[in-house]
Amino acid sequence: MRQSELVYKTYKEEPADEKSRNAKLLIRAGFIEKVSAGIYNFLPLGLRVINKIENIIREELNKIGCQELLLTNLHPKEYWEKTGRWEIFDALFKTKSKTGSEYALAPTHEEVIFPLVKKIIKSYKDLPVALYQINTKFRDELRAKSGLLRGREFIMKDLYSFHKNNEEVEKFKKLVDKTYKKIFKRCGLNAIETFASGGTFSKYSTEFQVPTDSGEDEIYYCEKCKKAWNKEIYKKDYCEICKSKLVKLKSIEVGNTFNLGTKYSEAFDLKYIDKDNKERPVYAGCYGIGVTRLMGAIVEVHNDEKGIIWPESVAPFKIHILDLKFKKGVGEKIYKDLIKNYEVLYDDRENVSPGEKFAESDLIGIPYRIVIGEKIKNNKVDIKKRSEKKYKEVNIKDIRKWLN
Ligand code: ATP
Ligand code: MG
């Protein structure tokens, strides 16, 4: 992609109405645009990151046999009355049609996936089933001042699994927990498996918490067991498993896994016929990952005073070529060669000072940088990683070797 054609805008100044580091940096670097508190547009750069994150999630979930679908976001009131959540779901956005019908703007999707699955699952032979989607959610959040960490509209991956009994749910939940760790690791984050309340059918639900001072949550972490307990449920000083002293950390919840038991199956009368011809309730689990929150968390963890430092796996581009325009045509040639194998952003702009190009490149945070400066007269360019301070002089013909 030529930077001269990329639709974006960067800002030297921090936005006055944002407190969080992720929103400040993502807005300044041209990834997102603020519409209102907790409501953002994603520009082409921002969408590239979202797509990368989503595809990592897809790859890992597909590997463990989950199937992707897409559920509606307009939920008839009756569905939410069946679970009793029309009145008690705190952050529910409600809307009315011209005909008087009322709807919820989906904050989560149990209310539509259970009725859907009820049409498909009849006997034990139809189980287990694991379905997920990557979709928009709406929540009327009161505290929407953490940028992408808490949106009123945000993207979530939600997975729902359906089983014959509680043991099968627990077994599958463990598999998802393992898969989540892989997903977060691939996204460049160390997410700590955290015991939390909210498990109706098991003692705990599991949260995945990324330690950072900007987090809203607090966890007690055991450095030895690499596990933690959410402060909301567990206020002890010592690890339940190994008795080591726990460390208090601020953190961001990027995902969670729940054993739902038969709660929603009962609400929607979701049953199956067992081997012995008996009717039994379906046992279920639900598993969320906040996709846009994850993007915000990555920025909170990976940045310096100059801007974002994207992990390679989720970066909008892999290579940023800064052409300082010392020799005509060379930048074009290097760019055209590298795009055969890499995602490249080529700063081909005329009449932009080198200083501005460097500053913008630091802000945007693409992992590898190739600077075509004065040394190009001797067929040399300067190369470095965004995360490194020092450049390395490389002959044009060795660029690929260096990248590999
Ligand atoms: P929180 O306690 O942070 O409000 P939650 O318990 O309401 O989260 P779930 O309803 O289980 O979260 O949603 C699953 C995932 O979606 C969360 O782990 C989080 O990563 C993400 N998430 C939840 N609410 C938001 C939001 N308002 N903005 C962005 N992501 C969110
Ligand atoms: Mg919430």
Q: Is the Cα dihedral 324, 328, 334, 335 positive or negative?
A: positive
348/43 Cα distance (integer angstroms): 20
Tell how far the Cα of 391 is from the centroid of ligand 2, in angstroms.
44
**Which spans in 100-217 are helix H?**
110-118, 166-186
Atom of ligand 1 nearest to the CA of 108: 10
Quote the ligand 1 centre to 290 CA distance (angstroms): 6
Which residues sit opposite 260 in a β-bridge? none
Is it the case that residue 89 has pLDDT exceeding 90? yes
Asked if 265 and 271 touch (Cβ cutoff 8 Å), the reply is: yes
Q: Whose CA is nearest to atom 29 of ligand 1?
A: 150
Which residue's alpha carbon is nearest to atom 10 within ligand 1?
108
Burial label, 194 (beta-carbon count in 10 A; 0-12, 13-18, 19+) = buried
Give SS3 for 202.
coil
Q: Is the CB of 156 under 6 A from ligand 1?
A: yes
pLDDT of 324-359, one tens digit each? Answer: 999 999 999 999 999 999 999 999 999 999 999 999
Confidence of residue 382 (pLDDT cuts 50, 70, 90): very high
* Residues 80-113: b if buried by 16+ CB within 10 A, e if exposed: bebbebbeebeebbeeeeeeeeebbbbbbbbbbb
Q: Is 331 in the pocket of ligand 1 (CB under 6 A)?
A: no
Nearest to 193 by CA among 222, 214, 216: 222
Q: Can you say whether the dihedral through the CA atoms of 27, 30, 34, 37 is positive or negative?
A: negative
Contacts of 64 (CB under 8 A, 6+ apart): 130, 175, 176, 179
Q: Indicate which ligand has the atom closest to the C-alpha of 198.
A: 1
| Distance (Å, whole) CA 7 – CA 396 | 29
Q: pLDDT-derived band of residue 230, with 50, 70 and 90 as boundaries?
A: very high
Chain centroid offset of residue 343 CA? 21
Which bound ligand lies closest to the C-alpha atom of 207?
A: 1
Amino acid at 353: S
As a whole number of angstroms, the distance between CA 373 and CA 325 comes to 7
- Looking at 39-192, list the stretches that DSSP marks H as alpha helix, in order from N- to C-terminal side: 44-63, 77-82, 85-88, 110-118, 166-186
Q: CA 149, 151, 156 angle in degrees (round to 5)?
A: 80
Nearest alpha-carbon partner for 158 in 139, 130, 185: 130
> Whose C-alpha lies nearest to ligand 1, atom 25?
150
So what's the pLDDT on residue 201?
60
Q: What would the mean pLDDT of 291-311 be, rounded to a whole number?
A: 98
Q: What is the tens place of the pLDDT at every residue in 114-129?
A: 999 999 999 999 999 9
The DSSP H or E segment spanning 263 is helix 263-268
Residue 200: per-residue pLDDT: 57
User: Does ligand 1 have an atom closer than 6 angstroms to the CB of 164?
Assistant: no
The atom of ligand 1 lying closest to the CA of 150 is 28
